[in-house]
Structure 1
Amino acid sequence: MHVCLTPTGDIAQTGPTLQKLRPKIGLVGLNFLDLFEVYRPRLLRSMVELLAVEGSKLHLRFRDPPHTTLKGVLVPDGLGGAVVNLSFGISVVDAVRDYDLSGSDFAATDLTIEMLYLVEAKSAAMEASRTLNKRLQGARIAAEEQAFTDTLTGLKNRRATDHILERLARRGRDFALMHLDLDFFKEVNDSLGHAAGDYVLQQVARILVGETRKDDTAARVGGDEFLMIFVGLSDRQRLSNMAERIIARLERSMPYEGQWCQISGSIGITLSNGRRDAVLANFMHEADQALYVAKRGGRAQHRFYDATMAQTAEGNAPGTG
């Protein structure tokens, strides 16, 4: 990256890398100040003025695009001409990209090579950091998902439902909360074993997933207790039809290793009804009370919460099995 200048300021010789920056024109014979604009020091318009700043750092750029900036130092050759040694300075990274330069375009002693190595090392380190961050983020998401998931059924767990209900209540979103408790599940465990019970729970989970939409939630919150959260749904008839459909599907015998598992389900339902300041526990308590009434009424049925249930179910909780 050098040019040899004649006493008139014309280019007599150039280094191969400088010529590579302007491959379509021959640089030899051009006037140095016609090719470059020297913007520091200012007002250098002749060879005489260039020679007057010998040894000083020159800041210059190509007059034609791309206007790559360069740094240079001029040294007189003793014959009226001069040699100008050029470098890219901090713009070396852009120059390497723009002109497709490689290590062979620089002298082995040029500190530019060291800078390129540092840039490459920095890029590699940043890429490794991005990769590590993605892995850590993936691990964090997986851990959070696991913390909110029931491992047996793949449904959400109670921790997840608490979080979802708190968020919905805080945002004032309407929702319906459906509490399902399995009937006769204890008999399955006692007669066929816990493996059969686990199988039944997994089948129940499949049924509930089939009844929920993308933004809804199905969760297992106890041994044989499940919750469903239906966002934006307050149509009692639609919810009633859904509950009846779930109960009907639960009553179908489930085959397990040549035997039949027979259960049913009772459901309690409560609606948020636009309540903005309700405590989370109140929704859960209302669904529990409605479930208790459904259980007491003969099981395999559903009930909607109403205020009259508060006294009827006071101090009671739905039984399991």
Structure 2
Amino acid sequence: MRREDLSLLLARLCPMNVMLDRAGRVTHVGPTLQKLRPETLMIGEPFLDHFALIRPRSVTSMAGLLESTGAKLHLRFRDEPETALKGQIVPLDRGEGAVVNLSFGISILEAVKDYDLSSADFSATDLAIELLYLVEAKSAAMEASRTLNQRLQGAMIAAEERAFTDTLTGLKNRRAMNHILSRLLASGAPFALMHLDLDYFKSVNDTLGHAAGDHVLQHVARLMVEETRNDDTVARIGGDEFVLMFRNLHDRDRLNGIADRLIARLEEPIPFGDDICRISASIGTALSAQFRAPDGAQILHAADIALYAAKRQGKACHRFFDQETLGEIDNEIQAPCHTET
């Protein structure tokens, strides 16, 4: 077979072949191998000028390489990137030279990525094609798995969010309040807990209907979010009952100011269609620092007692939990409310 015909045949069957003359100079380069070095002219140059022979170590010259019939070769490109290659050298008839067939071996995945290779760059019978298909299938499966996991995680987060959210107001619900309160107690950071109960809310429901009541609750929720910090917690724990928790806030003057603003704003008329809704609020506050080793039920109960004292004072009031509060309830003492309405 003429060398030209052999070159065409090898280009189809072994697209990473190098044909050498008897002196070890390159006479033909397979199309895939040339694609790895598109700007390098190898033809006419010594094979070992472009490829460094790693093994067999005993071969140190081109003459020795040409005599290594059937030997398995380990090579690399001399220039960057120094891609590792495997190969086998087969002599041509009548000492006309040799053919070196090359492959990437285990570095095929990196090579495909580095050189942007596709199945068209390999022989149809090359096992590398099957490996590439497996890799592509694995990548597709992993991507599908990632997408599914993201969807499942998103659904789980959405479900958890729904489980901790009051559907009417968008505030935290009682379950979320209990969870956050437990975390606050575990952290040991000081905090304040306000229990707010709407005054005259029942009359809104009774006279204007539940739609008006829902409108008022949503208005109250927006107002409380406006009056609190981003890291504070506002939860609706009952029909018209709310709990506000303030991490690292135990200054009574500041807390009293927040309560006064809430009461004042809640007493502003709330339009509902052609009607006006009028409510107010009573608030009781307990401080974690008031207890040696507080638990959730204890501090909630303390805030309830303070709220009860505010209700007995005439509503639209804010009271702190303390021994005086307990005494007032026990003795059914009522005093003028300090909060302006």
> TM-score, length-normalised on structure 1?
0.92
Q: Tell me the secondary structure at the aligned position of residue 273 of structure 1.
A: helix
1:185 equivalenced with 2:201 (yes/no)? yes
Instruction: State the Cα distance separating 1:6 from its structure 2 match.
Output: 2.2
Q: How does 1:10-159 map to 2 (within 5 A)?
A: 10-80=25-95, 81-159=97-175
Cα distance between partner residues in 2 of 1:189 and 1:64: 84
Residues 183 and 263, structure 1, Cα contact 8 Å, conserved in 2: yes
Identity of aligned residues (%): 62
1:300 equivalenced with 2:304 (yes/no)? no
Cα distance between partner residues in 2 of 1:13 and 1:240: 90
Cα distance between partner residues in 2 of 1:243 and 1:189: 24
Cα distance between partner residues in 1 of 2:292 and 2:150: 38
Deviations 1:110-158 (A, max 9, x none): 2222222222222222222222222111111111111110001111011
Cα distance between partner residues in 2 of 1:261 and 1:209: 20
Instruction: State the Cα distance separating 1:8 from its structure 2 match.
Output: 2.4
Q: Which moved more, 1:50-59 or 1:220-229?
A: 50-59
Cα distance between partner residues in 1 of 2:237 and 2:63: 89
Cα distance between partner residues in 1 of 2:155 and 2:216: 31
Q: Tell me the secondary structure at the aligned position of residue 28 of structure 1.
A: coil
Matched positions, count: 315
Residues 169 and 276, structure 1, Cα contact 8 Å, conserved in 2: no
> Larger relative contact order (C-alpha < 8 A, sep ≥ 6)?
1
Q: 1:274 to 1:172 in 2, by over 3 A?
A: farther
Cα distance between partner residues in 2 of 1:17 and 1:177: 73
Q: Tell me the secondary structure at the aligned position of residue 198 of structure 2.
A: strand
Cα distance between partner residues in 2 of 1:8 and 1:310: 108
Cα distance between partner residues in 2 of 1:277 and 1:76: 89
Over the aligned positions, Cα root-mean-square deviation in angstroms equals 2.0
1:218: which partner in 2? 234
> TM-score, length-normalised on structure 2?
0.86
Q: 1:53 to 1:276 in 2, by over 3 A?
A: farther
Instruction: State the Cα distance separating 1:253 from its structure 2 match.
Output: 2.2
Cα distance between partner residues in 2 of 1:124 and 1:107: 24
Q: Tell me the secondary structure at the aligned position of residue 94 of structure 2.
A: coil
Structure 1 alignment gaps of length 5 or more: 317-321
Q: Tell me the secondary structure at the aligned position of residue 79 of structure 1.
A: helix
